[in-house]
Amino acid sequence: MLKKVLLLLGVACFFSCQTRKPDLLPPTGPYFQSLSIKFNFSDGKVRQNGRIHWRFDDQCSKFLFFTPLNQVGLELDVAAEDAVLVNFSKKAFWRGDFSQLLDRMWGIDLTLSELKSLLIQGEVPQAEFTGKGISVSLKSNSKTGAPESIRLQRGVVDLTLQIMKNEFRPGKIVLIDYADRYQAADLENVLNDD
């Protein structure tokens, strides 16, 4: 009995004295940033809410839009400001400008770089936003200063983005060419649910 107790005590001491690797932010080597976002949208006629998972590195971004059943409904791949929106259920895709897509979906005309600086650094270029008729209210984390909730309003459009998780992961974003597998379609066809 004494041997068992000493053995358990020895194992407990071994695990308690073990050193842990430090968490490096951002990680060394190639990495990407990953955000989990909840959104609420209203324009007076339509109300939407849902969840988006956004992964990006220095060159590319990938947005995954989830259905209420927690399945990926749409994927948006962006390189610079060139966007490809894929609807998996229709096996169709649209290719065009990111700000045009954002304006059609939510009535907010922002480039990817403006959206990234707003959601990551909390930077609000007031002159540009005022020129586009967009007002922004921002809530930041009291400890880190990182944005937690962003509310964008433009006329009757009201869009709230709540950042649930913001983390760095090792690896890089790889965009897939859907032109060989899916059919090209106009934006309305790709966005509409049938």
pLDDT digits (tens, 9 = 90+) for 94-147: 999 999 999 999 988 899 999 999 998 888 888 888 888 999 999 988 888 889
Residues 144-183 have pLDDT tens digits of 888 999 999 999 999 999 999 999 898 899 998 988 899 9
Q: Is 179 helix (H, G, I), strand (E, B) or coil?
A: coil
Q: What does the pLDDT read at residue 5?
A: 75
Q: Between 79 and 69, whose confidence is greater? A: 79
Give the chain's end-to-end CA distance (angstroms, integer).
70
CB-based contacts of 68: which residues, under 8 Å, 6+ apart?
50
- H helix runs in 18-167, sequence order: 98-106, 112-116, 126-131
The DSSP line for 8-25 is HHHHHHHHHT---PPPPS
| All domains in the chain, ordered by first residue | 26-185 (2.50.20.10)
Residue, of 17 and 182, whose pLDDT is higher: 182
List all residues 6 or more positions away from 69 whose beta carbon is below 8 Å from its beta carbon: none
- Kindly tell me if the per-residue pLDDT of 63 is higher than 80: yes
**Is pLDDT larger for residue 84 or for residue 124?**
84
Judged against a pLDDT cut of 60, whether residue 23 lies above it is answered with no
**Distances in whole angstroms, Cα of residue 182 to Cα of each of 84, 89, 102:** 12, 10, 22
**pLDDT band for position 22 (50/70/90)?**
low
